[in-house]
Structure 1
Amino acid sequence: MAYDRDTAERVRRLLAPHGDVVDKRMVGGGLSFSVDGRMCCGVTGTGLLVRVGPDAVARTLEEPHVGPMELGGKRLSAFVLVDPAGYVTDEALAGWLQRARDFVATLP
């Protein structure tokens, strides 16, 4: 599955002021983004992968346009998948990216 190139460009633009941003191809054709060496989000062909941390997944799944992130039939414990309707505006996308950055800032 190819990633959404327009969303990837928006993510790059919004993350750029916040540290050393690196994007890398993911298994399955998506694109992951790391900030200062920590993976925080990704873009797939179906949505935005957001790293919110294992303690926040359950409550985040209750929000509109959010579903579980699965890879190889297994649910990822620290990530959610946001449907495109959940990040139509740059403001909404920036909010999701901020949540991911806030979580990865807690990592060693």
Structure 2
Amino acid sequence: MATRQREEMNMAYNEALANRVRSYLTHHPSYQEKKMFGGLAMMLNGNMCCGVVGEELMARVGPDRYEDSLRVEYVRQMDFTGKPLRGMVYIAAAGVSKEDELAIWVGLSEAFALSLPPK
């Protein structure tokens, strides 16, 4: 099997969670999706905003909100490469099961992504 095919097979993510996240972001004209980090990343202006990896939300909260985010229940550092990625966190499914919880994390990610220069 080709390497690319193996990579695509390993990119599993919760489609229901992805659809919930999409409902907050698809109104942006620059909205795009890319498969990365073993899941699905949502992009705004060419910058990663947030995404879904397995059953978890991946949120790009930025370095200023990173430490505070880690203090929230169900949140852990993103360590996809074995090294923490400062400014990015994973939120377990239990931490985004309610719509208001998901809205907060997507909103923080959206604000950070839109604060960056477009790519």
Q: TM-score, normalized by length of structure 2?
A: 0.82
**Residue equivalent to 2:26:** 16
2: distance between equivalents of 1:33 and 1:52? Answer: 13
SS in 1 for 2:78: strand
Pick aligned residue for 2:95 from 75, 79, 86: 86
Aligned partner letter, 1:24: K
Q: Does 1:99 align with 2:108?
A: yes
Give RMSD over aligned pairs: 1.4
Q: Does 1:54 align with 2:63?
A: yes
Choose between structure 1 and 2: higher helix proportion.
2
Pick aligned residue for 2:81 from 51, 65, 72: 72
The percentage of counterpart residues that share the same residue type is 38
Q: TM-score, normalized by length of structure 1?
A: 0.90
- Tell me how far 1:24 sits from its aligned partner: 0.7
Choose between structure 1 and 2: higher strand proportion.
1
Does the aligned pair in 1 maintain the 2:44–2:114 contact within 8 Å? Answer: no
Structure 1, unmatched stretches of 5+, are: none
Aligned partner letter, 1:97: V
- Tell me how far 1:61 sits from its aligned partner: 0.1
The runs of at least 4 aligned residues of structure 1 exceeding 2 Å deviation read 17-20
Does the aligned pair in 1 maintain the 2:70–2:89 contact within 8 Å? Answer: yes
Does the aligned pair in 1 maintain the 2:45–2:114 contact within 8 Å? Answer: no
- Tell me how far 1:11 sits from its aligned partner: 1.0
